[in-house]
Amino acid sequence: MEAIGGRWKPVILYHLMGGTRRFSEFRRLAPQVSQRMLTQHLRELERDGLVHREVYREVPPKVEYSLTARGRTMEPLLHQMNAWAAAYLVEASRGEGESHAAAATGSSSGA
């Protein structure tokens, strides 16, 4: 869990399923993540063998990120996480998320 733990790691991995990405693409795809946090998570994912970082020796420097073979094994899990998140957002928009929140805090509407 440590390898994919963190708010942005699953997002980064999910976007890499679509192919190789550059740092600036991540900034556009997830504008809420700070540059510092994005850099940190990419380094950790690389360290854990899930992401490959390719540096091209040119001016200006070009760096691309892609999934490794180990990272590709995460694809089914990432698809399931995405489906869960989409369903959760639909529930929340209907107000069904309120009953889940009440259950989580120990509140009960029937007592």
Q: How confident is the model at residue 107 (pLDDT cuts 50, 70, 90)?
A: very low
Mean pLDDT computed over 18-34: 93
pLDDT in tens, 43-86: 999 999 999 999 999 988 899 999 999 999 999 999 998 899 88
| Three-state DSSP class for residue 7 | coil
pLDDT for residue 81:
87
Q: How confident is the model at residue 109 (pLDDT cuts 50, 70, 90)?
A: very low
State what percent of residues in the chain have pLDDT above 90: 59
Task: Let me know if domain 9-94 sits in CATH 1.10.10.10.
Answer: yes
Cα atoms found within 13 Å of the Cα of residue 44, Cβ hemisphere only: 18
pTM: 0.75
Alpha helix (H) residue ranges in 20-96:
23-29, 35-47, 69-72, 75-94
**Contact in structure between 26 and 18 (CB atoms under 8 Å):** no
Using CB atoms within 10 A of its CB, is residue 47 exposed (0-12), middle (13-18) or buried (19+)? exposed
**Contact in structure between 30 and 95 (CB atoms under 8 Å):** no
Ranges 26-35, 39-48, 88-97: which has the least confidence: 88-97
pLDDT for residue 111:
41
